[in-house]
Each structure stands twice: as C-alpha cells, then as structure tokens.
Amino acid sequence: MSYTKVWENNEKLSKEEKLKLEKDGLEILNDIPKYAEQGFDSIPQDQWNLFKWAGLYLQKPKEAGYFMMRVNVPSGILSNEQALVLANIAKDYGRDVVDITTRQAIQFHWLEIEQIPDIYKRLENVGLSSVGACGDIMRTIVGNPLAGIDRNELLDTREIVEDIYWYFQRNEEYSNLPRKYKISISSNVNNAQNAEINCLSYVPAVKEIDGEEVVGFHVYVGGGLSSKPYLAQELDVFVKPEEVMEVTIAVTKIFRDMGYREKRHRSRLKFLVADWGVDKFKEELLKYVDLPSKGTNRFEEWNAGYFYGVHKQKQEGKNYIGFNVPVGRLSSDELIELCRISKEYGSGEIRTCNSQNVVIPGVDDDKVNDVLKEKIFERITVEPNKFIGYSVSCTGIEYCNLALVETKERMRMIAEYLDEKLSLDLPIRIHMVGCPNSCGQRQIADIGLQGIKMKTKDKKMVEAFEIYVGGTLTHDAMFNEKLKGKIHAEDLDNVLLQLLTYFKEEREEEENFHAFFLRVGKDSLQAKLDEILKGVAA
C-alpha cells in the first residue's frame, strides 16, 4: 500500500473508521474460503460488516445466515454468457430471484456462505464481480445502457467505463474511502445516468479547442440521496475522453484523503462538496490535473433511464427493444429465456437500466415482430401500462435489515390497481422505499413513497407511508417535497388513486406531473391530501 492514511491519528475517528484501520475491507476476501469450509457459525460477528466489500449483506434476520449478493454490471451491459451465468446462480442458489437495482446491478438473495466460493468462480470465469458492490469503496459504475448503439450519445463510453471499473476493482489504494462512492459516466444527451444524484458524474459536453469542436464531458460532484439529499454541482472544467481516468483518480484521492471520517452520517462526498463549494473543489482538483474551463453542456430532456419500445440503433438495419420488468424482479427462468431470445434474434446481450428494466439490442429490422410475439413479453412488456411501467421499488423488509416496511410486492400491486382504476395519457413515476436510505431513489420521483411505522389509535405499530411530490432531474432539477400526513399501508392504493384523479382532472393539456406541481403548488396538493385523509379516517 503506497499511500499514507493521513487521517489515522485523528482521535475523533468513528468506530467504523477505527476498525478499518485494523483491517481493510478487501481482506475479507481472503477469509471467505475458510468461512465457507467451516460454516456460518464460524464467522465472528465483528466481521459481518466487512462482507460488504465482497458485495454481500446479511439478510433479515442476520443470525439466519443468508446473504444478499450484489453483482456489478458497469453501464448495465451483460454478454449472453454473463447473463446466463447470473440466471443459473439464481436458479442453483438464490431461490430463482433475480433483482435489477437502480444502479443497473443484479441482486441475489438466500445465498449461504458455503456457496460463495463457487459463485465467485462462476462470476470470475465470465468477467463479472461482486467485489466493491457494497462497502466504503467505489461502487459499480452507472452508465448509458445503450452505449455504442445509441443515436442520442455523443460518443461511445463503453471502453472508458470498463477501464475505470477494472482499475479500481480490488485496488487497495482506494478500498478505504470515508463512505460509499458512486460514480456515473454517460454521453447520452437525455441523462440516462441520473447524473445529479451521484458523488461524481461525467455528462456529455462539447468545447471548441484550437478552432475544433471537441466532444468530451463536464463534471458533476457531490450528489447523493439518503436522509439528507444533495444535487450534484457542475464544476467549471472540461474533460476529454482520454482524461477521464486521471480525473477520476484525482477526485477519488480528494475524497479518500480529505473526506470526513469523524461522523458516519456526514462522511459522503456530498458533505465535503457542500462545505467547500465547487470553486474550492475545482481548485483542489487542478492540483492533480490541468483542465480547461467548461464548454457547452449537451443535456436535453431527461428520460429517467426509460427506453420502452422499438428504436433504431446507430448501426444500419439494427434495433434495440426496451422492456418493462415489473419493479425490477425476474425469475431465473425468465432471464434464461431473455438470453435465448437475445441470442436468437439480437446481439446476445442483455442490458439493464437504472429504471430496473432491460433492453435487448442488435435486432434486425425483419426480426422485430418475431421478437415481440415471444410469450415472455406478455409479462415483460414492450408497452407497459402507465403506472406499472414507471414504478420503482427497493428490496424492502422482505430481505433488508434497514427497511421498515414491505415494498416490492406492494408497489407492484398498487401500480396494477392504479392501472385498472385510472387511465392517463402520460407516465407518472412512482418510487417506493422502505427506509430513509432511498435505494429506490424516492427523491427524484414524481411521487415518492417512503415507508415508516405508525402508531394506531389502539397503540399498535403498523406499516405506513409518507408521500413526497414533484421530483425531477436535469434542467429544473429538484428533489420532491414532503406532504404532511401518514398513510396506513392498507389505505395507500386508495389515497394515491384519489390524489392522481385530482391531478388528471386539474392538469392542463399535455402538462406532466412536475409541471403540474410547479403550477398548482405544494399547498394545493397538501389541501387535497388532507381532504382525502379525512375521508379515509371517517
């Protein structure tokens, strides 16, 4: 290890930081074979937390010994062979559950320590890894799921993403960061990467240099969600494609060496950026790499990572097809079937989106109709209904130790209920989360639903939700705002139906939910919710 831990003599370090000084998170990889041989009971409880660096979290209850595994999928691009390996891991070990996350990764559940070495071997054989998918380390890199085939990208970012991902994989120079570290790299002009909610993002831009227009990136820093969300801020720098690695290393060093380590809840990069400001951050960055001032940002309307339908690729005669995976959950057999279809009709790839959906690329013009006739696309649809097609959910209490409520199945059922009861000519993005950590990215939704516990009149604790409204990204980026009131989980579908019926009746022609929110104001929606809740309580 060639760097100096400049923070190690800080007497105010959090207890987590003190433990990381004793043992780097990546060292757990050396212990897993031993634990696999000796069984779960051989793992000391003080080592449980380190499994995050291996991409593993203990499910609820932890003492049962079942793990969730998150597998990195940079830019969401999976070869046919990789996708088949993932499907078979779920079939053999994960009770057939395959979840797509809001960072394009794949999650398994129900894994046992004895199975991990074989799973690692399978992943490694096809160039996949779960290492760094969790922990105080660089997470999987979010990117453009259409990279290389996208008619709306300025340049193909696949090689850039791969190079950076593998540079940081198992790199002990950067495995002890103050907290998790999320980056995105995309040249899609519709912000498919959700740039503003990442610690570090590269977004498409152009700049005239020596009389020629150069395609490159602008840099956003300091975004993040959880209980205190921040939108990333744009630095006044322009980065050429060949400079992305150098800039990423520099920003990571700044976070590693200067990020906060005294209080765990204030250790994300977003807090350092908020305290410093972008001018100071730029000044520090320029000590590592010489960069010119920014050029012209090339963001257009935000697509939130949705690519439903049949679309022409850059490549003549080729198409990509975007499908809805309801709340991001597949069975292993469904993923195997998607692999068959992609290999038979397309390029063989399966591409995952941060909207928890999939894209099949490389379909010839004359094969599109054959693809759409496949039986699997009765559930995984190319033209989903407006609510189920734009619903996102975190894992929830089913598997997660942090969640307060059930989310996955509840979000699916509520979306299907709304689709049955209410017809709209435009989508409403609804995100449900089980706790303030917001793995389901509640803050950027038109309607965010955050799980809580509520005390009833007879003093029983029940699952309930709070409602947030008005989130969006890119041009008028803002997080959604909380409406007062706690909604019993059993009443949530009816309350949402009435609130959305109000939107349908009061909206102006072609007005989306965010524009409606800006026009009528939060107070108007609060008054309507108060009226609805009064009726529910009656």
Catalytic residue among 70, 139, 266, 294: 70
148 part of the active site? no
Is the sign of the CA dihedral 273, 277, 278, 282 positive or negative?
Answer: negative
Half-sphere exposure of residue 212, counting CA atoms within 13 Å on the CB side? Answer: 4
Residue of 52, 180, 266, 442 marked catalytic? 180
CB atoms closer than 10 angstroms to residue 208: 10
Indicate the helix (H) or strand (E) that contains 334: helix 332-345
Can the peptide bond before residue 178 be classed as cis, meaning omega within 30 degrees of 0? no
Task: Return d(Cα 186, Cα 142) in angstroms, integer.
Answer: 8
Rounded CA Rg of the chain: 23
Q: CA 326 → CA 33, 368, 389, 430, distances in Å?
A: 36, 22, 7, 12
- The secondary structure element, H or E, covering residue 338 is helix 332-345
Tell me which residue has tokens 């050396």: 30
> CB–CB of 452/466 below 8 Å?
yes
Count other C-beta atoms under 10 Å from residue 423's C-beta. 10
Annotated catalytic residue 179: yes
Q: Has 266 been annotated as catalytic?
A: no
Tell me how crowded residue 61 is: count the other CB atoms within 10 A of its CB: 9
Alpha-carbon distance of 379 to 361, in angstroms, equals: 19
Locate 214 and state its tokens.
């150069």
Tell me the C-alpha distance between 529 and 149, whole Å.
44
- Are 207 and 183 contacting, i.e. CB atoms less than 8 angstroms apart? no
> How remote is the C-alpha of 323 from its chain's centroid?
18
Identify which of 529, 443, 437 has the alpha carbon closest to the alpha carbon of residue 492. 529
Check 132, 135, 222, 434 and give the catalytic one.
Answer: 434
**From the candidates 339, 400, 435, 439, which is the catalytic residue?**
439
Contact 300, 189 (CB under 8 A): yes
Is residue 91 packed enough to be buried (19+ CB in 10 Å), middle (13-18) or exposed (0-12)? middle
Comparing CA positions, the residue from 439, 437, 503 lying closest to residue 470 is 503
Q: Is 340 a catalytic residue?
A: no
485 catalytic, yes or no? no
Tokens describing residue 54: 């291996």
Alpha helix (H) residue ranges in 259-331: 269-276, 278-285
Active-site residue, selected from the candidate residues 139, 179, 256, 343 = 179
Catalytic residue among 440, 448, 451, 470: 440
CA–CA dist 523, 530 (Å, integer): 10
Q: Is 322 noted as a catalytic residue in this protein?
A: no
Query: What number of other Cβ atoms are within 10 A of residue 144's Cβ?
Result: 31
Catalytic residue numbers? Answer: 70, 179-180, 434, 439-440
